[in-house]
Structure 1
Amino acid sequence: MDRQHLFLIGFMGVGKSTVARVLCERLGLPLIETDARIEAAQGMTITELFRRSGEACFRDLETALLQDLSREAPAVVSCGGGIVLRPGNVRRMKESGSILLLTASPEHILRRVSGNTTRPILNGNMNLDHIRALMERRMPAYLAAADLRISTDGKPVAEIVSEILSALSPL
């Protein structure tokens, strides 16, 4: 992998943060969590930011963060689930790195996120039908953005990371 950043995209709950941590160890790169960076900069949680300022404000902050990342040293970047909804964000990511799409079935997603109240897009809609519908709406954007695609369903993290590293070698 000779390009700068490795951006992990995908629906919430696919394992981006967990996989990113292990990838960082294996690649010797720092980890950047877009949501955590935004929370630190804003002094509030993503849930609170959504409640106070709305999703559009949050998406603006994601876009600004991606602009800042283009000036930073190579890193593994675990992105928020909706970051690809803006074509300009995808363009910025492609200009500064490779984009890896992690996928999982709606059933796996529900198991992973049920009971979690830090997912503002799902709060009040923590059910399979809502997750499936939202995933279907976002999938074209995920697929269009991705340089690589890896399923995380039923796989241990070590296996997922090995698949990623094998797939990255030609990039």
Structure 2
Amino acid sequence: MNIFLIGPMGAGKSTIGRLLSQELKLNFVDSDKVIEERAGADIPWIFDVEGEEGFRNREVNIIDILSDEDNQVLATGGGAVLRSENRSNLQGRGTVIYLQASVAQQLERTSRDKNRPLLQTPDPSVVLHTLMEQRHPLYMQVADVVVDTERRNPKAVVTDIIAELRAQQIIK
């Protein structure tokens, strides 16, 4: 069984993914962390040196490898859905859960995080709105389950995800 978490930055993919993996007794993997480990550099450095295109190429490779493994909860980066290869691999290899969060919530959760290259701008709100317009239809296209994380405790979100997975008979 594979559970893939998608959604915008600040939606809680890593936090919820860790909790969900514990509840389901699955491995937890964060694709951004794996990219950093394999590159030997953090994401801002990769963006600086290779640009977003270089980062996205690395991301396609890592998601192809990780999504082909079994019994895991995989938290993807917010832009993973931009590449058709990623969308196809995620849809074809597991259950995709879209964690939704408003732009206001994303701003609140990411305001002090310097590890997000796309937000290193005078007005991150404009960037987040633009990204949401571009990415929301792609998130919806691949999602099997959509869960709102807005102002919610991560444990409550995990409880809702598990209930939905049971309702869809994905888990017992």
Relative to the length of structure 2, the TM-score reads 0.93
TM-superposition CA deviations, 1:10-58 (whole Å, max 9, x none): 0000000000010011000011100000000000000100001111111
1:119 shift after superposition: 0.4
Determine helix, strand or coil for the equivalent of 1:54. helix
Q: 2:72 aligns with which of 72, 75, 97?
A: 75
Greater fraction of residues in helix: 2
Query: Where does structure 1 lack aligned partners over 5 or more consecutive residues?
Result: none
Cα contact 1:104–1:153 (8 A) shared by 2:
yes
Q: How much identity, in percent, do the aligned residues show?
A: 35
Q: 1:18 aligns with which of 15, 19, 23?
A: 15
Q: How many residues align?
A: 168
Which residue is 2:48 aligned to?
Answer: 51
Between 1:79-88 and 1:121-130, the stretch displaced more is: 121-130
Q: Does 1:89 align with 2:98?
A: no
Query: Where does structure 2 lack aligned partners over 5 or more consecutive residues?
Result: none
RMSD: 1.2
Alignment of 1:7-156 (within 5 A): 7-156=4-153
Determine helix, strand or coil for the equivalent of 1:13. coil
Q: Aligned partners of 2:22 and 2:133: how far apart in 1?
A: 32
The code of the aligned residue for 1:59 comes to R
TM-superposition CA deviations, 1:55-112 (whole Å, max 9, x none): 1111111111122124423200000000000111111111210110001111111010
Runs of 4+ residues deviating >6 angstroms: none
Between 1:82-91 and 1:37-46, the stretch displaced more is: 82-91
Cα contact 1:114–1:126 (8 A) shared by 2:
no
Relative to the length of structure 1, the TM-score reads 0.94
